[in-house]
Structure 1
Amino acid sequence: MTDWIERAREVAAKLAVDAVERDRRGETPYQEVRLLKDNGLVTLLGPAEHGGGGQTWETAYRVIREIAKADGSIGQLLGYHYLWAWAARLVATDAQVAAVEELYTTGNLFFGGAVNPRDADLTITEDGDSLVYHGHKSFSTGGKVSDLTVLEGVLEGTDDHIFAIVPSQQEGITFHDDWDNIGQRLTESGSVTISGVRVPWESAAGYVDRRFRPLVYNTLNVPAIQLVFANFYLGIAQGALETALAYTREHTRAWPYGGDDKQAASEEWYILEGYGDLQAKLWAAEALVDKAGTAISRVLHAPREELTPEARGEVAVLIAAAKQRAVDTGLEIGTKIFELTGARASASKYGLDRFWRNLRTHSLHDPLPYKRREVGAYALLGEYPTPTWYT
């Protein structure tokens, strides 16, 4: 793990150089994704026999966090890529898993996903031995920087949801370049129209003879990606605190009108107290997120047939707790650092606002009070979260 984290730190250092300017321009991050590819981070979870890193999710989560310290958008893109690259293992047959992992690992391919359950699902029609996807999604993270896109829709006349992996660059997929939010500006998360994208029936993930064989393991997609969220939230928070500390060391001036005048800001009791409080809370959040990462990595890499509803529930509750801690701590840091750095730190050139904007934007993905309720129902009633699109 250590070597991969160090490699991620080296990539993050390059991203940090112009992170403020890139955030301001909001351009499609082709070069940033190329940097991830060139440094082997895209194939970190890929099988070693195909040239991949052969690493575990525990390592992947830490790598996401390191990248997000420098650039929350690129941390999100990498985290989503890891989840969609693992999607075959979550739901596909053994043969499909082997084919997908060889394809993306040998090709160093980057994943995006048009899987937004709040929209009406894409419609799938049958045409002989093919499935044909049609519809529109208001969000599709990865967009134009992806090589492969995960589609999900409902087969017409049924309640059957079918996942498939398709090339992103084709006539039937139109990315609309309409992501214009206050944060996570480089995630290519705009809307997409799917028009007549054809997939062979044998590529329908997890279907054998046109029937799906469900496992509890299939439902790990939500806990896995919720912990992706928590890790890039945590990375954003770490980046915010590190950036603020560096600013205070170099620029913040002591306040000369408090009756307890100091020579340097680093001697001010309220600055020391403020940073001490934030650092302690951040360390606590890190510990909980790491605990959750160890727990889910253990079940993600275990035989799929062995996962029980109870084991899945224990992991889901822990991740719900980790996510809320990462959000609350990160938002507090993103706000409090301005009090500790001083008025001049609010200048646009320093870009301290991007940390709060990034975390605030994505943490609205699904309501945090529901995560608190999941933990409360477990603590008070011993209930596990019911697997849904968000739990």
Structure 2
Amino acid sequence: MTSNAVVPQAPTSSDPAVYQEYESKWATYPSDGEGWLKRAKEVAEVLAVDAAAREKANKSPRAEVALLKHSGLLKVLGPKKHGGGEQPWSVGYKAIREVAKGDGSVGMLLGYHLLWSRTAHVVGNDEQAERFQELIISNNYYVGGAVNPRDSDLKITYDDDKVTFDGFKNFTTGAAVSDLIVLEGAIHDRPEEHIFAIVPTRQAGITFSHNWDNIGLRLTESGGAKIEKVSAPWADALGWDAAAKKPDPAVLGIPFPSLLLPTIQLVFSNFYLGIAIGALEFAKRYTATSTRAWPFGGDNKEKATDEFYILQTYGNFFAHLRAAEALADRAGDEADRIFGKYQDDRAGLTPRERGDWAEWVASVKVVATDTGLRVTAGVFEVTGARATASKVGLDRFFRDIRTHTLHDPVAYKNRELGRYVLLDEIPEPTWYT
């Protein structure tokens, strides 16, 4: 019998060869945090040249991932002994923000990779953390994920040797262009027990839908994936006792693994801020070169850059973005303190310390969302009607932030912060807190 099933076809991919020159140009990696942020800025400058055109083309971002690989930014958090930059999360967050100024999609791809590449350090045991870090960093692998909590969990069956994942995920950011993919699922007969595992992406059991065609962040390959009988050995079940086939209480029975959630929430806020700052910088150049003064206001100016309302708007946006960045940096510093203190003493982390950091992160999420949406929409008021032309590409900044800020409702972050400040309640760890 002939099947009528439609097999998803991979979209046209961007060509990695267009960035080949940077493999040798960036062959030497930076030695300190300042150098890594300079490298991130260089990547943003390369991407900004044709960001609007690439976004319209909506090709699978293989070239963009290749550029990240050439830059070394995929390794910025990894240990030096495996070829990494050995930088703290605060530098990683700032690098995400910097890249997002030039291209929000690529900033998001970098952010998700940095989170997934460190997953074993948060939810795995020491042996798993070391083994996967060596695998990822020494090979310069890009890591994607299929861990969207709003979907039904992947179902896990198991035998004495392995765990096997089956199911479908609607959102798998970066996974279609990844080397490794993080899977998460629930054991079929014990649905309260979840397992993370990292597996090779290119295998028969993983089929990508290539259906990401949303209004923003169009180059993130965030579409769905079907997972069919994809197995990992018990030794790769992160945080589980492979012999006992049970979660290791010393790894998963403590607050430390729940740090994965505020870690990624702060990733989100940093690429929101990068996109918003990129919008302001783009608009600034446009206003200075193309916006005309309004001739019917009664206080006519020769240049748009002398208009009171334009100066006032830019000044106000700049002040709010500076404040948001300072808040994000404060939360990033707290990430460094938490991970620096407890990575080797995981049992020492208290629910209170975890909760206090989560509320720093929630504060950034609220401010970055409010400010990012306001700035990326508001820049049209100071650039003028002609700035809405498709060829200008100013709209991509708003579309990018609007798309991802719907990931989880910021209203719940406001409520969470309200309970924290009014009732002194720390949030219960969830998939989004």
Same fold (TM over 0.5): yes
User: What residue is the counterpart of 1:378 in the other structure?
Assistant: 420
The amino acid of 2:310's aligned partner reads I
Work out which of the residue numbers 366, 370, 389 in structure 1 matches 2:408.
366
Matches within 5 A, 1:1-391: 1-158=33-190, 159-208=192-241, 209-212=244-247, 213=249, 214-303=253-342, 304-391=346-433
8 Å Cα contact 2:212/2:221 also seen in 1: yes
| Separation in 1, partners of 2:348, 2:286 | 50
Structure 2 regions of 5+ residues with no counterpart?
Answer: 1-32
- How far does residue 256 in structure 1 lie from its aligned partner after superposition? 0.9
Cα deviation digits, residues 323-352 of structure 1 (max 9, x gap): 110011011011111010011111111100
| Separation in 2, partners of 1:345, 1:156 | 53
| Separation in 2, partners of 1:142, 1:301 | 28
The amino acid of 1:215's aligned partner reads I
| Separation in 1, partners of 2:349, 2:47 | 38
Percent identity over paired residues: 53
SS state at 1:42 partner: helix
SS state at 1:45 partner: coil
Could you say what the CA RMSD is over the residues aligned between the two structures, in angstroms?
0.8
- How far does residue 180 in structure 1 lie from its aligned partner after superposition? 1.2
The amino acid of 1:244's aligned partner reads A
Q: Normalization by structure 1: what TM-score?
A: 0.99
SS state at 2:358 partner: helix
- How far does residue 367 in structure 1 lie from its aligned partner after superposition? 0.4
- How far does residue 145 in structure 1 lie from its aligned partner after superposition? 1.1
- How far does residue 40 in structure 1 lie from its aligned partner after superposition? 0.6
The number of residue pairs the alignment matches comes to 391
| Separation in 2, partners of 1:39, 1:76 | 16
| Separation in 1, partners of 2:330, 2:65 | 29
User: Greater shift after overlay, 94-103 or 137-146?
Assistant: 137-146
The amino acid of 1:198's aligned partner reads S
| Separation in 2, partners of 1:54, 1:339 | 43
Q: Normalization by structure 2: what TM-score?
A: 0.89
- How far does residue 305 in structure 1 lie from its aligned partner after superposition? 2.4
Cα deviation digits, residues 180-200 of structure 1 (max 9, x gap): 110010111100000000111
8 Å Cα contact 2:121/2:129 also seen in 1: yes
8 Å Cα contact 2:269/2:368 also seen in 1: yes
8 Å Cα contact 2:143/2:175 also seen in 1: no
Structure 1 regions of 5+ residues with no counterpart?
Answer: none
| Separation in 1, partners of 2:408, 2:129 | 29
Cα deviation digits, residues 286-321 of structure 1 (max 9, x gap): 111111111122112323222111100110011101
| Separation in 1, partners of 2:161, 2:83 | 33
Cα deviation digits, residues 96-135 of structure 1 (max 9, x gap): 1110000001000011000011111000111331111100
User: Greater shift after overlay, 136-145 or 302-311?
Assistant: 302-311
| Separation in 2, partners of 1:344, 1:306 | 57
- How far does residue 215 in structure 1 lie from its aligned partner after superposition? 1.9
User: Greater shift after overlay, 26-35 or 124-133?
Assistant: 124-133
Which runs of 4 or more aligned residues in structure 1 lie more than 4 Å from their structure 2 counterparts after TM superposition? Answer: none
The amino acid of 2:213's aligned partner reads D
